[in-house]
Chains A and B, each alone.
Chain A
Amino acid sequence: MVAAVRRLKDNALSLMFLIMFVLSVCGQAVAGLLDYNDRQVAAGAEPVSLPDYVASSSFTVDVAENWQSEYLQFFLFIMMTVWLVQRGSPESKEPGEEGAESDEQQRVGRYAESSSPAWARAGGLRLWVLSNSLGLVMGAVFLLSWLAQSVAGQAAYNAGRLSDLRDPVSWSAYVTSPEFWNRSLQNWQSELLAVLSMVVLSIYLRQRGSPESKPVGAPHASTGVEG
């Protein structure tokens, strides 16, 4: 029992976000269904069931377009903070530390410790994969989600065009259409603004106890210090 509670507490942050994610997706499905059926009835079509709506291109494109932008945000943040710094931000390395850093700093190869991941000691391709795994996975999920957005988006877009008595368009025409880029860019701009806000506001503002903030008493000019 004590071990179970301990396990819950050790993973509380992940569990809380997982629960909020599931509740949000369920809420989106229900709200989306009501909105979709409202438009179906107005167009002279039949309302659909929740399972049919969740399996529809309309729901899929709405989910995928948000996923791709979130993973793009984290991918860019992870990769750009390797090479770019922001003086005073706890999200940044110290100026002068730009780059992939030495093996000693990264504790890989002969500098690996007994508790380091096995691939940190391995060298070669395995070390390269481990060294870039976070960016690779975030980037891959971004690309897959964006691809899913394009496929589901084309299906939803074409259903709408046929409903309007217009010709459907090919995938290549869809991914160069204003509809596709409007969906993508409206999400990207908000994600990029959120990162910009986090990087800059965390120079001057504090949140006591949060590792995303500098300690309350840390000077504005101190960089890479997390509280």
Chain B
Amino acid sequence: MRTPFVVPALAVLAVAGCAVDTASPVRAAERFHAAIAGRQEESACAMLARRTADKLPAPGQTCADALREAKLGPGGQPTSVSVWGDEAQVRLAGDTLFLRRFSDGWRVRAAGCRPVPDLPYECEVED
């Protein structure tokens, strides 16, 4: 009768230890920066999370115009990635991005982010 109580706790640890897919958010971050570097802002806008894409443009402006104006620097090589649940942070050599997993894949929530001690990152593009 004691085993059933122990098994769920062990299962929790086993599940928690499962491998996490870190490649997909990194690819999404790299594709986003590749589109920016190739001046394909409309494609980059299509990779944003809906709330970010909705919030980004000023009145009368398109998402692509707003991304162009944001002047995001080059992304560069990935240096680290953290994935927790449906949230991810991808650090590239030239940028830090926050992504979220949706049913159609990883989308960029925030880009052009700079760390602020003890506070959330300040980002050029965010939701």
Query: Which A positions have Cβ atoms within 8 angstroms of B?
Result: 44-46, 55-58, 60, 64, 67, 137, 140-141, 144-145, 147-148, 151-152, 155-156, 158-159, 161-168
CB distance from B52 to the nearest CB of A (A): 8
Contact of A44 among B5, B13, B85, B127 (CB under 8 A): B127
For the A-B complex, the count of residue pairs with Cβ-Cβ distances under 8 Å equals 83
**Known contacts A45-B86, A158-B82; A165/B13 CB under 8 A:** no
Q: Contact: B2 with A137, CB < 8 Å?
A: yes
The answer to whether A141 touches B5, judged by C-beta atoms less than 8 angstroms apart, is yes
Nearest-neighbor residue (CB-CB) of A71 within chain B: B5
- Find out whether the CB atom of A158 lies under 8 angstroms from the CB atom of B84: yes
Contacts of A58 in B (CB 8 A): 85
A55, A56, A164: which contacts B120 (Cβ < 8 A)?
A164
Give complex CA distance A162, B90 in Å. 11
The answer to whether B49 touches A162 (Cβ under 8 A) is no
Asked if A165 and B15 make an inter-chain contact with CB atoms under 8 angstroms apart, the answer reads no
Given the complex of chains A and B, what is the CA–CA distance between A89 and B109 in angstroms? 60
Question: Does B41 sit within 8 A of A, measured CB to CB?
Answer: no
Taking a contact as CB atoms under 8 Å apart, the answer to whether A155 and B89 are in contact is: no
Min CB distance B107 to A, Å, is: 10
The chain B residues found within 8 Å of chain A, CB to CB, are 2, 5-6, 9-10, 12-13, 15-16, 49-51, 82, 84-89, 98, 100, 102-103, 109-110, 113, 115, 119-121, 123, 126-127
Contacts of B5 in A (CB 8 A): 141
* A-B contacts, 28 listed (Cβ < 8 Å): A44-B109, A44-B127, A45-B86, A45-B102, A46-B102, A55-B15, A57-B85, A60-B15, A64-B12, A137-B2, A148-B9, A148-B16, A152-B12, A152-B16, A155-B16, A155-B85, A156-B85, A159-B84, A159-B87, A161-B84, A162-B89, A162-B98, A163-B87, A163-B100, A164-B120, A165-B98, A165-B126, A166-B120
CA distance A148 to B119 in the complex (A): 28
A145 with B9: CB separation less than 8 A? yes
Neighbouring B residues of A46 by C-beta, 8 Å: 102-103
Q: A159-B85, A163-B100 are in contact. List 6 more A-B contacts (CB 8 A).
A: A44-B51, A44-B109, A152-B16, A159-B86, A164-B120, A166-B121
Least CB distance from B96 to A in Å reads 9
Residue in contact with B100 in the complex, picked from A45, A64, A151, CB distance below 8 Å: A45
Chain B, Cβ-Cβ closest to A166: B120
The interface residues of chain A lying within 8 Å CB-to-CB of B2 are: 137
Nearest-CB distance from A202 to chain B (Å)?
Answer: 27
User: Max chain B CB contacts within 10 Å: which of A46, A165, A167?
Assistant: A165
Residues in chain A near residue B119, CB distance under 8 A: 166
What's the Cα separation between A107 and B120 when bound, in Å? 64
CA distance A57 to B15 in the complex (A): 10
Are A67 and B9 touching (Cβ within 8 A)? yes
Q: State A164–B100 Cα separation when bound (angstroms).
A: 12
Shortest CB-to-CB span from A54 to chain B, Å, is 11
Closest to B91 in A: A167
Residues on A with C-beta less than 8 A from B100 are 44-45, 163
Contact assessment for B120 and A144 in the assembled complex, using a CB-CB cutoff below 8 Å? no
Give A177 Cβ to nearest chain B Cβ, in Å. Answer: 13
